Amino acid sequence: MSRPQNYFTELSGIPVHYARPPVAPYATRGRSYRFYCLEAFEQKLAACFEELWQVCPYGQAEVITSAGAYVNKAGYHGLGRGFDLDAIFWPDKDFITLDYPSNPVFYLGIEAIIRRHFGTVLGYLYNRAHHDHFHIDDGSSVAFSRTSKSRVLFLQSALTHVFAEPVLIDGIYGNQTSTATYKILNDIGLSGDLEDDALWSQFLLSISESAFGQALPELSPPEILRNLYTTIDTELADSESRKRIETVLNVFVDHEQTQEWLGTFE
Ligand SMILES: [Zn+2]
Ligand 1 centroid vs 161 CA: distance in angstroms?
25
Residue 136 pLDDT > 80? yes
d(CA 131, CA 143): 23
Ligand 1 centroid vs 84 CA: distance in angstroms?
5
Ligand 1 centroid vs 105 CA: distance in angstroms?
23
Mean pLDDT, residues 73-95 taken together: 95
Ligand 1 centroid vs 128 CA: distance in angstroms?
13
Ligand 1 centroid vs 213 CA: distance in angstroms?
29
Ligand 1 centroid vs 76 CA: distance in angstroms?
8
| CA atoms lying within 13 Å on the CB side of residue 114 | 23
Least Cα distance to 25 among 62, 85, 67, 63 occurs for: 67
pLDDT confidence of residue 224:
83
Q: Using one digit for the tens of pLDDT, what is the confidence trace for 164-199?
A: 999 999 999 999 999 999 999 999 999 999 999 999
What global pTM score does this model have?
A: 0.82
Ligand 1 centroid vs 232 CA: distance in angstroms?
24
Q: Using one digit for the tens of pLDDT, what is the confidence trace for 198-256?
A: 999 999 999 999 999 885 556 788 888 888 898 888 888 888 899 899 999 999 999 99
Ligand 1 centroid vs 42 CA: distance in angstroms?
15
Give the CA-trace dihedral at 85, 89, 90, 91, to 10 degrees. -170
Contact yes or no for 141/115 (Cβ under 8 A): no
Ligand 1 centroid vs 28 CA: distance in angstroms?
19
Ligand 1 centroid vs 218 CA: distance in angstroms?
32
End-to-end CA distance of the chain: 59
Contact yes or no for 145/171 (Cβ under 8 A): no
For the chain, domain boundaries: 7-213, 221-263
| CA atoms lying within 13 Å on the CB side of residue 229 | 10
Least Cα distance to 64 among 37, 40, 84, 43 occurs for: 84
Ligand 1 centroid vs 217 CA: distance in angstroms?
30
Ligand 1 centroid vs 83 CA: distance in angstroms?
6
Ligand 1 centroid vs 58 CA: distance in angstroms?
26
pLDDT confidence of residue 8:
98
Ligand 1 centroid vs 266 CA: distance in angstroms?
42
Residues with CB under 5 A from ligand 1 (ion): 84, 135
